[in-house]
Chains A and B, each alone.
Chain A
Amino acid sequence: MGNIADPVTHWAFVILVSVVMGTGLLIAVAFFRRWTQIRYARYVHTLQRQYRPVLAEALSGARNPAGIEALRELPLADLELLLDPVFSKRKLPERCLVFLQALCAELGLIELWQCRLANGGSAAFPASGSGAHSGFHDRPVGHYLLRAKSIRNLGKLRHRPSWPLLVNALDDRHADIQSVALRSLASLGAPESFPVLRERLHAVAQGKSLSPPLQGLQAAMVSYDLDCVPALLPSLRHSDRQIRMYATEILRTMVRRNAARPQGFTLTPELLTPQVVELLLTGLPVDPSAEIRARAAEVIVFLPDPRALTVLGDLLRDPQWFVRLRTVRALAHLRQAAAPLLLDMRECLHDIHWRVREAAIQTLISRGPEGKRQLYEHFLTSTDRTAREQIIEVLERAGLMAVLVEEYSAGANGAEALMVEQLASDAASQGLSRVLCASRPEILRKFLDRMLPGVIAKLRLLEEASPEVESAISLQKALTIPPNLAA
């Protein structure tokens, strides 16, 4: 070791000792943490093992006064710990939710959570129970984590009377609390809170306020029922383009969410109010903002109004490609008879933008036999190579090539049969040959029985033109089928 009296060496030595001590401290903290975690896990485990049967009984609706009494004797913090796994679950069954709400009310937990939220968390606990665990120090009253969990729990319970407290929480100093409050408001779905959120949306969109986050607001608003849509009218009519756009987006998402539900869905004027319907048919489709027009199309398809078809037809010819794209995609969900629009959709197969063309193919397929017929006819008559390639690609991805082969083998006629023959004679479709290779032998045999005479006739013509062509090789190449089958 060098001379410690030398100032540089001295300081280096001091730093060295500090670092050694610091490392030791870190190791000690790591061990301590592991020890406390093990202790905590054991405590929670014991608690849950002891009270889980009582809890399960209560959540199944069985009445057990002795069990409830035992739970009541627990400190509130322990009760929260006990119920935390239940609230952390992805989704609580509806039946369980009713009993859980009753249990939480009986144990005073709802009151506790509401107290935490009132006055920014500084309110005192309710009289029953203490705030602390029996074995561990709890977080200080007013800690944001306690507030966040309280909001989460009230939301999960769908405790509607708490909505004003959750609205107040949107002004919490902690940004996370605002986000959790938004999620809980969405879960509650109290119609009274919808106008409050709308006003917040206006403030945030106009830059008057930075919180709560815009995306969170939108996500919360789309979770409300469609009954709340009339309250969105001021936003849909707002002079600010951004606000109109957000409102249309919210409306679009609400409608699509409802439309995706298995039970029937109709967007009646009674549900939306005549003013909203009128705005959808006459105002939004001619909005200067293409973003708004595109989103409006996705709502209009669900309107049972006869004017909707004309509006959608106009939107299919919109100058902006993404309006056409969204409209053509939306038409897959059209509830009315789409016959008048099928020709417009077929026009989209010539669109300058490939994504519109692709969407048009997909929509025509989704429109059932009539849509497919239009698509096949277009394929057979079109000279546009790109459009034809795209049709083949989408057919393959949708698994329709195999369906076409099966139908052809079963003797189907019309556009489908011509389509298959065209695909086979082009010899350009990898997909067709793969489908043939993977087909069941009887389907393949029937297919070849029907296809081969035509192919052989063509080959004869080819042979006459160029005798050196060997027909067997050509045939094999044309269909890319195993040689034994070709023979």
Chain B
Amino acid sequence: MVGRHRLRAAFAATATLTSVAALSQMSVAGATTEPPDAAAEDTAAASEAVDLSAFEGESLTYVYFTDGAPDEEATRAAIAAFEEASGATVELQIVPFADLETTLQAQLSGGDVPDVARVSNWRPFAGDVIDMNEMFGAAYSDQFLPGQVATALGDNGEFLAVPSDITMNGPFINVDAFNEAGVEIPTEWTWDDMIAAATEVQEANDMEFALAIDKSGHRVSTVLSQFGTTLLGPDGVTLDPAMAETAITTLTDLMAEDTMSADFWLESGSRYAGANEMFLAGAVPVYISGNWQVAQFAETAEFEWAAVPNPCAERCGGFPGGKYMVAFQGSDNPELAAAFVEFMNRTEIQQQLAEGASWLPTRNDLIESGITYPNRPDDMSVFLADIAATPEDTYLSLASPAFSAAATAVIEEIALVVAGEEDVPTAVENIIARSEQGLEDAA
């Protein structure tokens, strides 16, 4: 198992730096929307590789979870383009994110295999999906960011999931509330700065809390990283107890002081809870989440808001994430499924999806050419800048097969601390033990 981790690490360690460097070069506002020559060549090569007209009259199912209305709308437009190009029909099956893995496992176990799915974690389906490099040639994965490709490789280097968008965690602020309080909009800040500013704005605007963060191990991993540590690495558990204690104490102290809502953390039990409603209700001036909120906030927020840089402690940057498209081997028409995934991740389609859904692209050519976001380009550029500042070990942590188990442990152990049933050192010990158990189970 360790050997497998090392293999992934070898890919990821070299690849992540490349992707970070590439993303840091990506311009947002004012960038050209036309793909560069290299991108056009890639697109042409891919188009030549797949004769879409061969699928005329056929149909496929695409199991999809939505981040909100804008991405669904953009996806439907992309599907329409595929249907026009191929003559095939696509049935879009939208399932709640919480039920996605269960739904897919049930479909696979029952023999009712979908053709394509959008997933955030492809590992549970590793034995069921198509190696896209085998289907489209060994160089196919070269079109995508090496760091993201490294998180999509099977044990033997198969390219099992096509990274369709990359996400970056980071904070949002209520600009109206900041202005009302006379607090400057941050262009860079530390955790101490952020807490001080958030508290000042909260008090000036009589808001319920100063700070909110989604109740998610993925989002808390951002805080852990900023305080200098990560949950997992290629060789196993990497959590530094002292750094983790500082990070967790910062959060639990904020809850004990009512700067953050302890109720929010405890009342939802073991369920995920997003603090976006608190932010949108004007109950909190600073909210730590991620770039996928941009499109939704652009439509629903009734006040001026902005994405701002992640706060620094021991180090800066956020925490990455991403979505993938997978084509299933056992579907009725695996060739069509693979062709659909390939089409949906072509330059012009991924560009259209990124613009419409406020997604960050995963293709090298789009990184080079840039995306002109029609909505909130300044906010998207903040997230892009944070990608460049994000340490590479965060990608390795995310790529670990035990990340899900470790993230669950983080949430549950923090809840115990907030409820006063455990101290922080014990919580950290338990997180490490449960992460090790997660690695053992994954092996």
A, B: real partners: no
A residues apposed to B, CB below 8 Å: none
B residues apposed to A, CB below 8 Å: none
